[in-house]
Amino acid sequence: MVAIRPIALLLTLALVALSPSSGRAGPPTSDDDTDGSLFAQSAAEALNRDFPNRDISFLLLDANTGHILASRWDHPNAPIPMGSLVKPFAALAYGEQHEFNYPTHICRGTATGCWLPRGHGNVDLTAAIAHSCNSYFRMLTADLNAADVSPVATRFGLDAPPRDTTGPQLVGLGNRWRTSPLRMARAYLELARRRDEPGVSQILDGMAESARHGTGSEIARTLPDATVLVKTGTAVCTHARSGAGDGFAMVLTPADQPQLLLMIRVHGVPGAQAARTAGQMLHRIE
């Protein structure tokens, strides 16, 4: 694994920081809790300078505290649809009802409602996360409703889905389940903290596989030696200038003990393409 140099700087600064919030356990709940360290200032300057395109929204968080290091996201507390980023939490809801015994499934592509026309073939939960297989998650949530998923959403700090949300709507297909970008980012931090809990390890393994061979593999083009966890998503566009969809990428690095979380949204592209931009951004702040 290649170390990301600012992480060491970030940890050093955390030891000498005078802020009373340093060392706080768990993520804060307000977007006002912004880190003012030298690394945060440097990262914000670099990302805004080198990625000025307003079609790119981003949140960079300290994975240990949940503090915002850098951001450019209009209304980060406003709920929006986020596509497949909700899949891990629907999967945990299914697991709680089935003793965390997840089925395998044959994805036949278009015939079984997947985004990949030829299909993903035989997949388990880890592979379904890695490739964001809609067919698998359609099967997994066929009998779930909002009441089944809401306890998991609440536990991870997400906005709960509307009461009449069912089936595929619970895995980000359509725009029924909305939550805020900041809540979603911190939910993934909580997911990483709970890596030893039932069901979570398969999800994190899927995110690691996504970075290697799945929908997040574009990150490897710019960070070939880094270990990262990635989940991508494509959602209904919520911009005033409407597009075909918005691509999301959630990246935690390094994979074994995340220190940084980068969440981005790119207007008018799929999630796999957003992952490429995320890799370029992380490379810039190495």
Structure confidence at residue 11 (pLDDT):
39
**Residue 199, phi-psi category: left (phi > 0), alpha (psi -120 to 50), beta (remainder):** left
CB 245 within 8 Å of CB 264: no
Position 54 in a domain: yes
Position 59 in a domain: yes
CB 120 within 8 Å of CB 133: yes
The whole domain housing 190 covers: 5-14+28-284
Distance CA 271, CA 211 (A): 13
Distance CA 257, CA 192 (A): 8
- The arithmetic mean of pLDDT across residues 76-80, rounded, is 96
Position 19 in a domain: no
Position 173 in a domain: yes
Position 180 in a domain: yes
Structure confidence at residue 3 (pLDDT):
41
Query: pLDDT, tens digit, for every residue of 2-29?
Result: 344 444 434 333 433 333 333 333 333 4
CATH of the domain at 46: 3.40.710.10
Structure confidence at residue 224 (pLDDT):
86
Structure tokens at 196: 């030893």
Percent of the chain with pLDDT over 70: 87
Distance CA 11, CA 221 (A): 27
Give phi and psi for 69, each to the nearest 5. -90, -40
Domain count for the chain, please give it.
1
Does the pLDDT at position 180 exceed 80?
yes
Query: pLDDT, tens digit, for every residue of 132-170?
Result: 999 999 999 999 999 999 999 999 999 999 999 999 999
Structure confidence at residue 243 (pLDDT):
66
**Considering the entire predicted model, what is its pTM?**
0.87
Give phi and psi for 232, each to the nearest 5. -110, 165
- The arithmetic mean of pLDDT across residues 192-209, rounded, is 97
Report which residue type is found at 217: S
Position 23 in a domain: no
Task: Work out the pLDDT band at 109, boundaries 50, 70, 90.
Answer: very high
Position 22 in a domain: no
Position 250 in a domain: yes
